[in-house]
Structure 1
Amino acid sequence: MEEQKEDQLDYESEKVEILRLAQSKKNINSLNMDLERDMQRIDEANQDLLVKIHKKEDEIQRLENEITQTRDLAEDEEWEKENSTTMERERALQEVEEETARLERKNESLVHSIAELEKKLTRKSQKATKCEQDNLKGTPEESKVKLQQLEASCADQEKELAKVIEDYAFVAQLCEDQALCIKKYQETLKKIEEELETRFLEREVSKVMCMNSTSKEYNSQNNKDNSLQKKKAGFCKRIFQYFFFTTLFFIRLLGYLLFHLSFINPDLFVNILPKILSRNVLWKLRCFLFPCLTLETEDMLPH
């Protein structure tokens, strides 16, 4: 009878241990489910963060495009203003050149008229000499009258020649002034072109610098976001690995225990519990597990 009671106690203790192990397995499974839920929540949070990051990147790109468009519009307006000013200056220069050409033509006409007057004077002087020679043959009174007429005509021609020379000098002075103005306009146009080229180069360099700065900022933000995502992913992986290996460890222990109980020593708990626990503790255990026990296990526990 005592052996049967001991066997029953061993059997009941084995059942209790099996139930405890099953309960621990359920707890481990519930922990695994909670861990999977937490991982899903973390993945959803990461996806939400990625969506927010993409939205912010789209907003940054949109703002950059707007800034570049406004800059391009302002630069185009400035460029149009500068082009209009250069066109006006070129028109003024063309007008000055046309006026200088007109003055040069006038100068040439004056030179031609002076040459013709000189030719006329030479002809008239020759005629006067011939008339004097002819008049010497005539009466002295007629020769005096003719000399007076010739002197008056010579004085008139000298006055006309002086006027023509004055006009020629005035036109030459105007031509020199126009030439100086043209040189000054050409120098100013060269300076303006150089300034426009330097401004254009400075704008291009500033654009390149802005693009480089924006690309650097964008890359730094992407690197920060990637580093944060990598840290989060690494932390989640570590947590998952910890729980996964702990569950594997407990499952392997449970498997070893079940294998030992089923094949090596089925009476392990029956032999160990009376040695480890006192009768009072066994009685309390019986009272605690009484609703779950069958008649066989009741016979095994102490009364």
Structure 2
Amino acid sequence: MPGAPFAVGPVPSELAPKKKRGLKVFLWIVVGVVLLIIAIAALSGGGEDSTAGTSADAAPGAASGAEGGAAGSDESTTPEVNLAEFAAVDAAGWALIAKDPDAAAGQKIVIFAEVTQFDSATGADTFRANAGATQPAAEYELETNAVFGGEADLLAAITQGDVLRVYAEVSGSLEYETAIGGAMTVPALEVVSAETVGYLDISGDAVLGTPVWGEYGGVDLPVTITNSANATMSYTVEIVAVSADGAVQHGTASAYAENLAPGQAAVTEASFFEDLPQDAVINVVEVERYTS
């Protein structure tokens, strides 16, 4: 039986075979020794094969584990943000966040921001901005100083002076040292998406009525002003009267409305003290608003 040991030793004289038989026995012994050597070699080779098999099995397992790890990394990658989870806030809602950012931590909001600082001092992943609930129509309309952070790649296209619509999560409050000394605590927000929107065109908030020429000169012009913001605003409207071909300016006038609630309209009057020709063309040249 391959692998089994052979017992080889002296043969008793009384059992000694004839010479021919002794040769036969000798041949069987040689064959047995050869088979033993082959069996031992086979066992040794099998062990090597077994070891090699273990290594071969281990390698695919390791490769599979590496691939599994990579797959695991892909699965653990942060999924795309669902912007539908972020809700616009009104002026009152933003005022509460600005008052106590820590209490609002975790809120997902849509906010407007005018970038006031984004340089080597802030770094590539942070900028400072004036923020508010309403898209601004002019510089400095937004009043709350805030700090926005985010991935550098996400913020790479943003520059100082940009007006943004920002989808962000409130992180809480942040204290930082100012350039002139001292410290300031402001709301901190983490940006997940941002788009440049620029200043809002609010020229449509002022609608001109039919001018009325006075009996003794001058022209009175009714103006309807509607607050399109979601916060209380006061308005100033600048109006100009020019010749039909635009070559001559005949006069200017202004209209005002104070403390208009969101969506509220007021009918006011702009007066030209100059005598205007009947064919004068009257247009709005500028509409400004500011928080009351």
How would you bin the TM-score normalised by the shorter chain? 0.3 to 0.5
Higher RCO (CA-CA < 8 Å; seq separation 6+): 1
Give the TM-score of the pair, scaled to structure 2.
0.32
Q: Which structure features the higher share of strand residues?
A: 2
Larger Rg: 1
Give the TM-score of the pair, scaled to structure 1.
0.31
